[in-house]
Amino acid sequence: MFEGFESRRIDVGEASIFTRFGGGGPAVLLLHGHPRTSATWHRVAPALVERGFTVVCPDLRGYGRSRGPAPTPDHEGYSKRAVAGDLVAVMRSLGHERFLLAGHDRGGAVALRLVLDHPEAVSRFAALDCLPISEHLSRTTATFATRWWHWFFFAQPDIPERVINADPDSWYRGDPESMGRENHDEWREAVRNPDVVRAMLEDYRAGLTVDRDHEEADRKAGRRITCPTLVLWSLRDDLEELYGDPLEIWRDWAPDVRGHGIDSGHHVAEQAPEPLTASLADFFGAG
């Protein structure tokens, strides 16, 4: 995977972020979702390099080979604000003060926080298979709670760790053929690590508490995304089924929003890398 890329562990203070990077041209930061690592981009990142971009793929704080602080009762150490701060520091350490940004799933929530907290750093933002966390929670129905029950299970203290770590191979399932063997093996090694599992759960615990508070404070303050925004969603996932047109929701957060669905399941970077790459490259290369 990632032929021609370098990898480096970058110390950003209270966290150490494993990062892959390569290419030349405008810098693109790609953020993975749960429970993946940066390896999920192994089909997209090299294709973006071929299209003339520098591509940076970190493991989010606590995921994969990145490490963060010990969890605390307020979950601040795994808040999207803390993780976004990591990534600005990573990009600056690589020489990128301003960059293009895409986030998938939980990485999309981090990307939203990054673009709100550090608007000077982001020139264009792509949200993939995600909505702001507060938008999900404000629309919670029995259907959402049933399908996305893991959000609420992961937020419980201690029990999820015991359940998942008892048999991680049964809890987290992946197909090496669709994922790619090396991506699958890296992901499988990560989810067998109890420290990684704990950090991933802290991501969700922060989501239902401090992250929601931050987003709601943004709305009350009238804070919005200031850069052009692309919204992409997987047509064989349930985002559109649950909420209708995702563009309408994102237009409450940003004045310049465009986007469309892609024929894929949820893990779009693995399942539909060609149309995803084309959509990102067209958007990032415009203007």
What pLDDT sits at residue 287?
38
Task: Read off the pLDDT of residues 114-143 as tens digits, 9 standing for 90 and up.
Answer: 999 999 999 999 999 999 999 999 999 999
Active site residues: 105, 266
Task: Read off the pLDDT of residues 203-259 as tens digits, 9 standing for 90 and up.
Answer: 999 999 999 999 999 999 999 999 999 999 999 999 999 999 999 999 999 999 999
Task: Kindly state the average pLDDT of the residues 167-174.
Answer: 93
What pLDDT sits at residue 286?
52
Query: Could you write out the DSSP letters of every residue in the chain?
Result: --TT-EEEEEE-SS-EEEEEEEESSSEEEEE--TT--GGGGTTTHHHHHHTT-EEEEEPPTTSTT-B-PPP-TT-GGGSHHHHHHHHHHHHHHTT-SSEEEEEETHHHHHHHHHHHH-GGGEEEEEEES---HHHHHHT--HHHHHHTHHHHHHTSSSHHHHHHHH-HHHHS---HHHH-HHHHHHHHHHHT-HHHHHHHHHHHHHIIIIIHHHHHHHHHHT----S-EEEEEETTSSHHHHHS-HHHHHTTT-SSEEEEEESS-S-HHHH-HHHHHHHHHHHHH--
Which of 134, 121, 123, 41 is CA-nearest to residue 80? 134
**What percent of the chain has a predicted confidence (pLDDT) above 70?**
99
In a domain, 122, yes or no: yes
Any idea what the Cα angle at residue 123 is, between residues 121 and 126, rounded to 5°? 110
In a domain, 92, yes or no: yes
In a domain, 96, yes or no: yes
Q: Cα–Cα distances in Å, from 267 out to 36, 47, 76, 134, 167?
A: 9, 17, 27, 22, 23
Does the pLDDT at position 14 exceed 60?
A: yes
Which of 152, 116, 109, 105 is CA-nearest to residue 134? 109
In a domain, 1, yes or no: no
What's the CA gap between 113 and 88, in Å, rounded?
A: 11
Q: How confident is the model at residue 9 (pLDDT cuts 50, 70, 90)?
A: very high
In a domain, 247, yes or no: yes
What pLDDT sits at residue 77?
97
In a domain, 253, yes or no: yes
Domain range enclosing 218: 6-285
The total number of structural domains that make up the chain = 1
Q: What is the pTM of this model?
A: 0.97
CATH number of residue 47's parent domain: 3.40.50.1820
Task: Kindly state the average pLDDT of the residues 82-105.
Answer: 98
In a domain, 70, yes or no: yes
